Structure 1
Amino acid sequence: MTPRFSLRTLAALAAGLAFATASQAEEVTLRIHHFLPAGAPIQAKVLEPWCQKVTKESANQIKCKIFPSMQLGGSAPQLYDQAKDGVVDMIWTIPGYTPGRFLVTELFELPFMMNTPEATSRALWEFQTKHNAAEYKEVKPLAFHMNGPGNFYTRSKPIQSLADFKGLKMRGATRQTTRMLSALGATPVGMALPAVPEALSKGVIDGALTPYEVVQSTRMHELTKFTTESDPKFNAVYAQVFVLAMNKAKYDAMSPELKKVIDANSGADLSAWIGKMIHEADAPGRKLVQQANNTIHTLPVSELQNWKKATDQLDEELVAEINKRGLNGAALLKTAKELIEKSR
């Protein structure tokens, strides 16, 4: 017997087929917001290649629009909440721009914690997802990473020892970097990176802390005359934690197939790769400093050990703060150090 279909049945089948086709052709556009200029390494070397990769692996169903320099409004410290609240779909930012909010994360920003950005970024991802997921439960983290070793840039005199910090107003990005500056003998001034060039040019600050990677975007080689870096055989004096995160509702609304693409381009490997790429971007920045004929002083291990002694109490202070939140700060610090050493 030949099956017979009513017009209503045929219409329903056609509608179902159209829906299935539309689902297969689902397109998602991710609006990515960050605080650095478009030419900064984070966009050119990380965000743009990442977008190209997810677009290709999703058969052009996932696309990106990157908005640098806070083009969608707000300030750098507001980026995390923009992702949380769905104002944007993805952000790249420094959690430490909101002091004390991501307290456990600050363990990785303590002085002399980081060995290499690549290895420490891998350890950071494992730590955050296994031991500190609660701090980021409002978003979908895609990567956590470190930047390259931080340097000290000054306008009027070089920093070669602890005594040289006296009387200097130095910019720090996060709570731990400003505390470190105070322990070293400087007067700390907290501010986000976009405000640094103007503060230097107007003499509001005498110097700043940044890695070589952002020299070009901040004109650090033009605004300062002296750079102090540390011996690479010793752990970095300081480094900062960064997060690449997605709005949870945006992720949850994706099809299972597109979620797999995002998941395949997230995690420990992505975190380590970003750390590596950002560290590689330090070399061109250092070259700019050299071409400007600025003085570069490399701190020897013997002097770095003095700096470590001067800042050791910051570990104890942060552990005590974490304890007040009902967590075991000492155990978390021990775990962080073990993961960093394991990833070396």
Structure 2
Amino acid sequence: MNMIAGRLALPTAALMLLTATTASAETLKLAHFVSPAHVVTASVVDPLVKGVAADSNGTLEIKVYPGGELGAGPLEQYVRTLQGVADIAWGLSGYTSSQFPKSMIVEMPGAMPAGMTGYQMLWNAYEKHLTDEFPGTIPLAMWASEPNIFIMKDRVIHTPEDLKGLKMRVSGSVSGAMMTALGATPVQMPAGQIYNALQTGLIDGVVTGASAVNDFKLDEVANSYSIGASLGHIMFYLVMNEAKYNSLDDVQKAAIDKNSGIELSKLGEEGWNALAAETIARLREDESNTVVDLTAEEITAFRVIADQVRTDLIAAMDGAEILATMQGQ
């Protein structure tokens, strides 16, 4: 009789353990506004989701809501995190440039020294200079895109004069300042609207990284690409609601910490750069495209203007110390 009772007790104990584990499990909502095929998935989202699940022993799950499922507006990503609509969100600093003036120094043309990365610059300066730009959240990753290029429809860019009077889509205030200095009219819009804007002639071209050509199928409406001008980069962030993070237990927090920060940021930047290189190689193979590698003389003409834009922007915000910290000085 005791043996039978013991055998019956074993499944009951196992069931109780399973119930306790299930009850303590937590699910976080991660929101972004692009398709699951976007580079952000393989480079940032998947490593975070898989790493957190493994290192929390299954007690913490991240459920991903792509394509604006938790809200269609790309500009509201940060606010959704603050409001708790999403626990984690991915976004572009440039979409709300006024919130991130110091962080967006990393976007400025010529700000990133040779041999340094955007994620290094951002984390170098985070504790000392940037925390106030992330109220109510914890940055899980911060990184920069590959160098921006000109992506055009029916226009070929060789010199600054070629931009005069053109309508150029920009992602934020930094690239907007650069286009203004080149005599173009900056038009800010989310990346998902670029395709139709190029197709209909609302804009003449785009300043962004080559990876966007792949992610948003821009090669279906663009046909000219100029590479080598000093046009800066684009900054991205992945942030988590601070109160939600603080509500997690120690094991769950440790799982988040282990799979975020500079290492996750590194994966993001490397993913963007790799996709950009692949995309440019593919564009070169298509004879219907014009791919311009600017000459040294042409690059210099753009750099002179870009350097002045950066100097003016840094002076206007008294940002010399922040830039120096970013650069590890």
TM-score (norm 1): 0.84
Could you tell me how far apart the structure 2 residues matched to 1:281 and 1:310 are?
Answer: 28
Q: Partner residue of 2:86?
A: 88
Could you tell me how far apart the structure 2 residues matched to 1:45 and 1:178 are?
Answer: 27
Unmatched tracts of structure 1, length 5 or more:
1-17, 324-328
Could you tell me how far apart the structure 1 residues matched to 2:24 and 2:273 are?
Answer: 36
Displacement after TM superposition at 1:222 (Å):
1.3
Q: Partner residue of 1:7?
A: none
- Residue of 204, 207, 216 corresponding to 1:206: 204
Displacement after TM superposition at 1:252 (Å):
0.8
Q: Partner residue of 2:95?
A: 97
Q: Partner residue of 1:330?
A: 320
Displacement after TM superposition at 1:141 (Å):
0.7
Q: Partner residue of 1:249?
A: 243
How many residues matched? 313
Please state if 1:54 is matched with 2:52.
Answer: yes
Q: Partner residue of 2:70?
A: 72
Displacement after TM superposition at 1:314 (Å):
2.5
Where do residues 181-196 of structure 1 align in structure 2 (5 Å cutoff)?
181-196=179-194
Displacement after TM superposition at 1:117 (Å):
9.3
Alignment root-mean-square deviation, CA: 2.3
Q: Partner residue of 2:299?
A: 304
Equivalent position SS for 1:319: helix
Displacement after TM superposition at 1:77 (Å):
0.9
Change (3 A) 1:24 1:126: farther
Contact 1:118 1:272 (C-alpha < 8 Å) held by counterparts: no
Could you tell me how far apart the structure 2 residues matched to 1:77 and 1:208 are?
Answer: 19
Identity %: 29
Letter in 2 for 1:229: I
Q: Which moved more, 1:90-99 or 1:42-51?
A: 42-51
- Residue of 129, 132, 137 corresponding to 1:131: 129
Contact 1:125 1:143 (C-alpha < 8 Å) held by counterparts: no
Encode CA deviations 1:14-59: one digit per residue, 9 max, x unaligned: xxxx899837962121211112211011113321132111111111
Q: Partner residue of 2:12?
A: none
Could you tell me how far apart the structure 1 residues matched to 2:19 and 2:113 are?
Answer: 50
Equivalent position SS for 1:197: helix
Change (3 A) 1:49 1:266: closer
- Residue of 144, 154, 157 corresponding to 1:156: 154
Please state if 1:114 is matched with 2:112.
Answer: yes
Please state if 1:240 is matched with 2:234.
Answer: yes
Letter in 2 for 1:334: A
Please state if 1:258 is matched with 2:239.
Answer: no
Displacement after TM superposition at 1:118 (Å):
7.2
Encode CA deviations 1:248-293: one digit per residue, 9 max, x unaligned: 1211110011101111112222212221122111133224423442
Q: Partner residue of 1:314?
A: 309
Unmatched tracts of structure 2, length 5 or more:
1-15
Could you tell me how far apart the structure 1 residues matched to 2:213 and 2:268 are?
Answer: 18
Contact 2:28 2:62 (C-alpha < 8 Å) held by counterparts: yes
Letter in 2 for 1:155: K
Change (3 A) 1:67 1:24: closer
Q: Partner residue of 1:226?
A: 224
TM-score (norm 2): 0.88
Equivalent position SS for 1:35: coil
Letter in 2 for 1:333: L
Displacement after TM superposition at 1:208 (Å):
0.8
